[in-house]
Structure 1
């Protein structure tokens, strides 16, 4: 197998009339998805070259996923840009990609014109009027290699310019040959998609469904701030599988969603992106006692996830949930000071990963690629690329990896090295706190804690003095209605710090 289109083609052949994708406005069967994708692919083969990036300028919808597959049929790779993103960021992404064509629904074309986009904007509906050209599609497919790029997702860059993580067919195939079967995702499942399509969590939804013949429900972003709408959606579509960011799960429990309705068809909950507060997970476990829960870890650069931990018990509020062990065919190890291999229990090191699941690098950015994708310092005998995640971890007594924060969240304060996640773990263990986040104001050299819940500042400080050393107690404690999150569903520390200015 060398092309992810084989997943779609097998499901279209086996389940032609089964619903593949559903959004609030439209749906399509596997046969319709297959036919429309081939129409789009045929059209694109006349207007761009294989191997080129094609932008899908849409919010998540049936048309966006159909466009993805059409782009792949043309031998190209896709990047989705949400039209709601700031114009400056859209301009930066387009400058990195240097694409010559964009697919849109026509409702946001004025924004592209304001950005002086020089290429061609194709209306999605026009592409569907194109006939299928089997000869051209066959010619493209015959040249297909599994190392060719499939998609490019953009993350923030330390230089201020977004970095495009370029992922190949082989990396996704390598991951998907294990992922659905390991967590018992089958044709009978309905996956409730939470993640934006420009975030790699959605890759697990898309290709788990296409591989197995399951259905995907694309849940609108606004539902994740209105628990009643979200839970109604999960129940009405009989969703069985949630592969969500931690913040999305915490929103349901923080806003007491289960007092309204329990989506009792859900039998698999896989979460990632941040450390899951044990108190929130316990509420999910209580309300879905028969569901399987799995903690997943991994940055975009290693294609979704590299470790997993099935949660088989209820953790105490102050306990840290492990990130577990590596997925098959992935080598995950820790490097310490001087690139020394760490194997001792409790010793912290940087998480490093090797294997075919690694991304190809950052598109059109060789300098940043060389910094992150490097030769394994433990191997001087042959080329072996590893990705240095910048995340820290340690082994517990069961040889399970436990996340210990980001290197860039490790701060120096009052002469001590402090992990912000360690403070958050303690704060989240207080029953009266729904969610907490810590940030460091480097300008004024002070720690700040932001929290939602029913605990006044005086009592919070009293609790912290009982559980934290003085140098780890934030000098600012700011109650908020809710913790803001980024577009990728992670706590937005930057936005919180703006409250301190």
Structure 2
């Protein structure tokens, strides 16, 4: 509504990283609340959202300013930070058209009930929140630290009839191990779609997770760096990938072009050469 750029910060991150992220994003304002007000020390102006939320009515001039904001598809929508190869946070600026094109090609449906459990330090949290609301789905917020307690996590899925669950393979491994220990598999039966990404997905983890859901649940493995607006290549997991150690990354999503090029920028010969993945399309900067 305001035309600003969203750049999430986690109060659990070290102060030096927070300061680097604020500097890299050229932030003018930092939104805080009563738990984080003393956590941020920088030259930016701090805006306490508790004071804003506590107001019973907004001023007419404030509403007029919001209505007068014009945002084009090429404006920056949000900024995500990656550690990169050096460990220094790298600001990746994504435009409105990038994110909208990605969500339109993604698997979230208007009928989905989606559990928001991803930390703001990962770009997938924006997909869970903004993507769900854009598609008209229902968003369920997990209780604080609920992703560290598998009993709370599983009961939340069951209680709210969650239909979509996204996560990284290491989290799914922890989830399936917990369910094997407690001998409880019915809590995931409401899931209609699972999305995995961010790490290589072991075939054994995929098989274990599929054994915990209903037979109609779709399972996708995604690949793509943050510059690709989260994902660019997808693979529908079938559960028969046992002969391979890892689940394949699949084929390009709609509106995405993927090339395998050699060191001279020429297409490699299939089955004879190794190359570098080059990705293009509407999701990108």
Q: How far does residue 260 in structure 1 lie from its aligned partner after superposition?
A: 2.8
By how many angstroms is 1:219 displaced?
A: 2.7
| Matching residue within 36, 42, 49 for 1:124 | 49
Aligned residue in 2 for 1:281: 206
User: Structure 1 residue 199 and structure 2 residue 122: aligned?
Assistant: yes
Residue of structure 2 in register with 1:212 after alignment: 135
Question: Aligned partners of 2:134 and 2:103: how far apart in 1?
Answer: 8
Give TM-score scaled by structure 1 length. 0.52
**1:149 paired residue number:** 76
Measured in 1, the distance between the counterparts of 2:17 and 2:220 equals: 34
Aligned residues: 278
SS of the residue 1:110 aligns to = coil
Residue 313 of structure 1, CA deviation? 3.8
CA RMSD across the alignment: 2.1
Q: 2:194 aligns with which of 253, 265, 269?
A: 269
Which residue of 2 is the match for residue 236 of structure 1?
159
In structure 1, distance between residues paired with 2:144 and 2:268: 41
Per-residue CA deviation, residues 56-104 of structure 1 (Å, 9 max, x unaligned), is xxxxxxxxxxxxxxxxx22110111111111111111122223221111
Who is 2:267 aligned against? 341
Query: Aligned pair in 2 of structure 1 residues 343, 172: CA closer, same or farther (>3 Å)?
Result: farther
SS in 1 for 2:39: helix
SS, match of residue 73 in structure 2? coil
> How far apart in 2 are the matches of 1:201 and 1:258?
29
The structural deviation recorded for 1:242 is: 0.6
SS of residue paired to 1:266: coil
* Cα distance between partner residues in 2 of 1:343 and 1:101: 51
2-side partners of 1:136 and 1:300: how far apart?
32
Secondary structure at 1:242 match in 2: strand
Preserved contact between residue 252 and residue 258 of structure 1 (Cα < 8 Å): no
From 174, 181, 193, the equivalent of 1:251 is: 174
Match of 1:74, SS state, is coil
The structure whose Rg is larger is 1
Pairs within 5 Å for 1:44-193: 73-112=1-40, 115=41, 117-128=42-53, 129=55, 130-131=58-59, 133-141=62-70, 144-179=71-106, 183=107, 185-193=108-116
Quick check: 1:325 aligned with 2:251?
yes
Q: Is the 8 A contact 2:133 2:139 kept in 1?
A: no
With over 3 angstroms needed to count, the CA separation of the structure-2 counterparts of 1:347 and 1:228, relative to structure 1, is farther
Over 3 Å counting, the alpha-carbon distance change for 1:109 and 1:134 in structure 2 is closer
Cα drift, residue 348 of structure 1 = 2.5
Structure 2 regions of 5+ residues with no counterpart? Answer: none
**Native 8 Å contact 1:227 1:257 kept in 2:** no
- Quote the offset at 1:224 in angstroms: 3.2
Alignment of 1:358 onto 2:284: yes
**Residue aligning to 1:363:** none
Higher helix share: 1
Q: By percentage of residues, which structure has more strand?
A: 1
With normalisation by structure 2, the TM-score equals 0.89
Unaligned runs of 5+ in 1: 1-72, 360-501
Rounded to whole Å, the distance in 2 between the matches of 1:159 and 1:208 is: 30
> Once the two structures are superposed, what CA deviation does each residue of 1:459-485 show, in whole Å capped at 9, x if it has no partner?
xxxxxxxxxxxxxxxxxxxxxxxxxxx
Q: Per-residue deviation at 1:336?
A: 2.1
Q: Quick one: distance in 2 between partners of 1:355 and 1:186?
A: 22
Alpha-carbon distance in structure 2 between the residues aligned to 1:194 and 1:345: 40
Equivalent-residue separation in structure 2 for 1:322 and 1:211 (angstroms): 29
